[in-house]
Chain A
């Protein structure tokens, strides 16, 4: 559980610094807020996100994994990383 909390912290910090930049949604970033629905991430943002994940968690994100089910919210990212690093 502590591990998951740690992953979540890192992801939140990255999303806050890189994408939110103090926009209205900033305090309201829930774990299941959809990046797509809320316009938080753009197409180049996804690239930045993937680069961050690969570097920080030492994983390789495959083509098939570049889908919203894995990447579109803090909670789906935590689950995805947890599964990849298991």
Chain B
């Protein structure tokens, strides 16, 4: 099975069923499938071939979903890029995977209008959404999404991929500060979707609300899974106005609501959450960061008929574990056990499996484990190591865990210093390298500090050069111009010097107090 088959099959089984709701727009499976076919034919006529990489640089939208399936139907690999990415990183990602085509919003036009000069592999940009002005562009390089749909054929193009081909490359922050492309084959993604929809007991009657960005794998998989089961996806641009989300859950009779702790913390600030009838909401899922036990308790009070799934995962294998809801009372601090069709275990530094209760590194074995990092064999070898059988590779997660006698996992710590803010990974190195571009800064160090809403807030501690003056606000502004929104430091602290070890390494632990 291929990822693109999710849409094809559901369009055959439920042609007139609502596949996607976005604001006031409702689209059936047939409409989605035909639009994806049309765009796929357009991409092929623009020269896209099997294994080519095509980027999706769009806000959550109908066009973003069409684009993903069209790229798959064109036998190519899709790469969803965070729509708040700034030029330098965008151009890095496009060059890194030698992208052939990019689908971007017209509202990002100023950003992509000169991208061809930086990215030699890029043949065209397809722009979607409303145009505020009609820029003068080279018509062979800049095409309009709607016009392509109108002028292309609705028949499906020939399918040429097998499940060993890459369905997607998902860029993720690494400790080195340079984004790494996680290669996911069709088999990887289909396996992950099958395991997850199995334990969530999804059926075609499910209506899933997705307020997470599609550039975040947790948000992306909601689309894939909803289409796989033939359910309905209610897609929102973002999670912004908590009461709006409550209204949407009720209006659309949502049955599944995936979120991150930040969203649940915001929802729980509503005074009258308990007064609404969420009887149809079958489940809530949490992943990306641990949900505090107190929030679990409050969520259960507010959603008494809803099952709460605590989960854990990493992009490199999509998902690792889930806690069955009926275990919540017995093990509120566990992230559960391995999902169906996957094996998880904990090893010590000598690679021996540890006894129950002992701490070690978590290892994941299954068809959901990535193929590797795009063109980074050494980085790949650090995480993917030989498994049980010849040729097999298993994933060393870099996360420290202990496992109890019944196989339930308890998160202990990360081995690296990646920050998890709003559940998404932020590389301190990446933020630091932007800070060092400011002339005024002599030294800078970035870390996560605990925050009741964000989980971890990004904090920068800086030492200025002698005689210069710059405010924290100016530093934040510079970061906002050069980094994705979620990476901009919430807190900037000034110091005369940074505490260091004898070898000159900055001691981050001494700096994690919240102060301004």
Contacts and interface: CB of A to CB of B under 8 A. Distances in A.
Interface string A16-60: 010001111000000000011001011110110000000000000
A64 to B, nearest CB: 6
Most chain A beta-carbon contacts within 10 A, residue among B241, B243, B263, B454: B241
A77 interface: no
Contacts of B247: 67
Contacts of A47: 266, 269, 453
Interface in B226-265: 237-244, 246-247, 262-263
Given A39-B84, A47-B269, A21 B241 contact: no
Which interface class (under 10, 10 to 19, 20 to 34, 35 or more) fits B? 20 to 34
Given A66-B242, A68-B240, A43 B485 contact: no
B240 A46 contact: yes
B241 A64 contact: no
B473 A66 contact: no
Contact of A66 (B241, B263, B453, B481): B241
B513 interface: no
A3 interface: no
Nearest to B239: A43
Interface of A, helix, strand, loop or mixed by DSSP: loop
Interface in B70-93: 83-84
Contacts of A68: 240-241, 244
B238 A44 contact: no
Nearest to A70: B241
B270 interface: yes
B480 A67 contact: no
Most chain B beta-carbon contacts within 10 A, residue among A43, A64, A66: A43
Which interface class (under 10, 10 to 19, 20 to 34, 35 or more) fits A? 20 to 34
Contacts of A39: 59, 83-84, 238, 485
Contacts of B83: 39
A64 B312 CA distance: 33
A84 B269 CA distance: 20
A23 B238 CA distance: 20
Contacts of A71: 241
B380 to A, nearest CB: 33
A51 B161 CA distance: 53
Given A21-B476, A47-B453, A63-B243, 19 more contacts: A21-B480, A23-B480, A36-B238, A36-B240, A36-B241, A39-B84, A39-B485, A42-B240, A43-B238, A43-B263, A44-B422, A63-B242, A63-B246, A64-B243, A67-B243, A67-B244, A67-B247, A68-B240, A71-B241
